[in-house]
Amino acid sequence: MMKKLLMLSVILMFSHGAFASSEHVRVDRYSIIETKPTVAQADLLSVVINVAVPDHVVTVGETLQHILERSGFSMASVNASDPALPILLRKKLPRVHRHLGPITLREALSTLAGPAWQLVEDPVNRMVTFQLLNQYSNFRPSANK
C-alpha cells in the first residue's frame, strides 16, 4: 500500500508539473524554461554591449547619445544636470574609447565620463546624467574653455 501511494504521488508530481513554479514552465517532456526576465531586461543599463563608435562621432556627448540610442534611456537635459556637464560633453572622444566592449552599458557610460564624474540614473524617466564628484570641484574648469 505504501509503495503504491509513493508511486502515485511521483506520477502526480510529474504529470501536474510540480517541479515547475510560477517562474518556470514545462515546454515538453524534458524541458523547463524560466518565465522571468533576464537581468538585462529587468535592468536596462546592465545589458552587455560591444560598440564601435563611428568616425563622424567626435565628442563624448555625441558618443553618449550614440550608445544610448537603442537602450531605452536618454541623456537628461543639460539644464537639469550638473552645471559643469557641458564641459564633459564637449570633450573630444579619446581614441581608446572608440571601441567599448564587451561591457555593460552602465560601465560604458561611466568609462566615457571618467573617474571625476558619477553616473546618475533616473529609472522613472529612463534618463541618465553625470555629476562632478565633490573632490574634483576645485578643478572645475570654466565653461568657456
The span from the CA of 12 to the CA of 101, in Å, is: 48
According to DSSP, the β-strands at 74-75 and 127-132 are parallel
Predicted model pTM: 0.77
What are the pLDDT digits (tens) for 49-94? 999 999 999 999 999 999 999 999 999 999 999 999 999 999 999 9
What are the extents of the domains in the chain? 2-34, 39-139
More confident residue, 133 or 35: 133
Please determine, for residue 6, whether its predicted confidence score (pLDDT) is greater than 80: no
Bridge partners (DSSP) of residue 48 are 104
What's the pLDDT score for residue 121?
98
What are the pLDDT digits (tens) for 100-145? 999 999 999 999 999 999 999 999 999 999 999 999 988 776 545 4
